[in-house]
Amino acid sequence: MNTDILIIGSGPAGIQAAIYAARRKVDVIILGKLENSSLAKAHVENYFGISGPIVGIDLLRVGKEQAEKFGAKFIEEDALHLERKDDKFIVKTEGGKEVESKAVIFAMGVSRKKLGVKGEQQFQGRGVSYCAECDCGFFKGKKVAVIGDGSAAASSAILLAKYASKVYLISKKLSTSEHLQDELKVGNIEIIEGKRISEIYGNSAVGGIKLDGSSLEVEGVFIELGSKGVIELAVNVGLLPDPRGYIHVNEEQKTSVLGIFACGDICGPPLQLAKAVGEGCIAGIEAAEYVKRISKLEKQTV
């Protein structure tokens, strides 16, 4: 699939960027799941023009319809991988799709990475890991657990199954693409759904986890909540977030990498709806201008 602008993230920042870009007559594809936006569960009272509390998911749904009306195309899947190919960017989705784009707008928001259970902090670096790609090699032939409900957990379990002897994928309710579900059908992956993890235990390193009272012996616990985060997606294209995980942009929402823009919570505080849509507006306009400019240059050189 080809497009002019690919927006990763369909919260208020991404959708607002899609609306502005699509109205400028460039092709726009937007990835992500509305219900994973921070706004989905919010009751908003401090946004201009809204006085009584309004439910976030309703705002998102209307926003999506607006963007679609102007021609933006939604793919309700997570991005798993981003890379540069010549002057374009290629993103791979959890559904196995490949989208090639001239410009990319990061609008993934910020998401919780920590589980918040007993033992998690204590065993960080001693069996508790937040990065399967980084640490898979240390668990060759060992039993591990992956915790999470989304595409990050599923793709991590698939990777870890190549190293570990056994991978337990522990999830409240797994919600990911069919493509990933198929890939999860590997002999040494066992999916455990509907159980709550209450503790990570061990002595000097992780020994196991407590699941609804019963224990499961593992040496590694990979906490992979939600979707692939900004760092995993950004480094391949040479973009490094600051230590807090935020992306730096200039007043045109441009990042340090040509062709990549960012907007919303991902750019840092205040983590507020009004700021997210404001930045989304600028990112949409600037990305469209950028794409038109390089398209013109391409035509001139042909």
Residues that bind ligand FAD (CB under 6 A): 8-14, 31-34, 36-39, 41-42, 44-47, 78-79, 107-109, 227-228, 264-266, 271-274, 276
DSSP state of 264: G
Question: How far lies 63's CA from each of 10, 16, 295, in Å?
Answer: 10, 8, 28
* Residue 113 Cβ vs ligand FAD, minimum distance, rounded to whole Å: 12
- Residue 65 interacting partner from ligand FAD, other proteins, none (CB closer than 5 to 8 Å by kind): none
Cα-only R_g, the chain: 20
The interface partner of residue 41, options being ligand FAD, other proteins, none and the CB cut-off 5 to 8 Å by kind, is ligand FAD
Of the pair 65, 256, the CB lying nearest other proteins is at 256
Q: How many other C-beta atoms are found inside a 10 Å radius of the C-beta of residue 119? A: 23
Q: In whole angstroms, how close is the CB of 282 to other proteins at the nearest point? A: 27
**Local structure of 220: helix, strand or coil:** strand
Question: Token digits for 183?
Answer: 């890939």
DSSP-derived 3-state class of residue 175: coil
Q: Which does 79 bind (CB under 5 to 8 A by kind): ligand FAD, other proteins, none?
A: ligand FAD
Contact of 135 with 206, CB cutoff 8 Å: no
Q: Least distance to ligand FAD from the beta carbon of 221, Å?
A: 22
Which residues of the shown chain bind other proteins in the complex (CB under 8 A)? Answer: 124-129, 131, 133-139, 204-205, 220, 231-232, 234-236, 238, 240, 242-243
Report how far residue 295's alpha carbon sits from residue 262's, in angstroms, rounded to the nearest whole number.
21
Out of ligand FAD, other proteins, none, what residue 231 binds, judged by CB under 5 to 8 A for its kind, is: other proteins
First to last CA, the chain: 23
Question: Binding partner of residue 47 among ligand FAD, other proteins, none, CB under 5 to 8 Å per kind?
Answer: ligand FAD
